Amino acid sequence: MKVLKAAICLVLTALILITPCFPAATAPALAGADAPSAPAKKYAYVDLGCNAYLCGEPNESAALFLIPQTYCVEILGEQKEWYRVRYAEDNGIYRAVEGFCLKADLIECDAPLENLYLHMSVKVIYKTEKPPASLPELGDIELTAAYYGAYRIGKTDCSYVLCNDKFAYIPEAVTDYPLNTLPERPTIAPAKKGGTSAALIAAIVVTVAAAAAITVLYFTGKRPPKPTPPAQ
Q: Write the pLDDT tens digit of every residue in 176-206.
A: 899 998 988 754 344 444 545 555 565 565 5
SS3 152: strand
Neighbours of 169 (CB within 10 A): 15
Cut 0.75: pTM above it: no
User: Where residue 211 falls among pLDDT bands split at 50, 70, 90?
Assistant: low
Contacts of 116 (CB under 8 A, 6+ apart): 43, 71, 72, 74
pLDDT digits (tens, 9 = 90+) for 48-94: 999 999 999 999 999 999 999 999 999 999 999 999 999 999 999 99
Average pLDDT in the 19-43 region?
Answer: 62
Confidence of residue 116 (pLDDT cuts 50, 70, 90): very high
Rounded average pLDDT over 131-139: 73
Closest to 149 in 3D by CA, of 174, 182, 170, 124 = 174
Q: H/E element holding 13?
A: helix 2-18
Cα–Cα distance for residue pair 61/68, rounded to 1 Å? 19
Report whether 53 contacts 65 (CB < 8 A): yes
CA 155 to CA 36: how far, in whole Å?
Answer: 52
* Per-residue pLDDT at 39: 75
The arrangement of strands across the sheet holding 107-109 comes to 63-66, 53-55, 97-102, 82-87, 72-79, 42-45, 107-109
β-sheet bridge partners, residue 102: 82
Q: Are 54 and 21 contacting, i.e. CB atoms less than 8 angstroms apart?
A: no
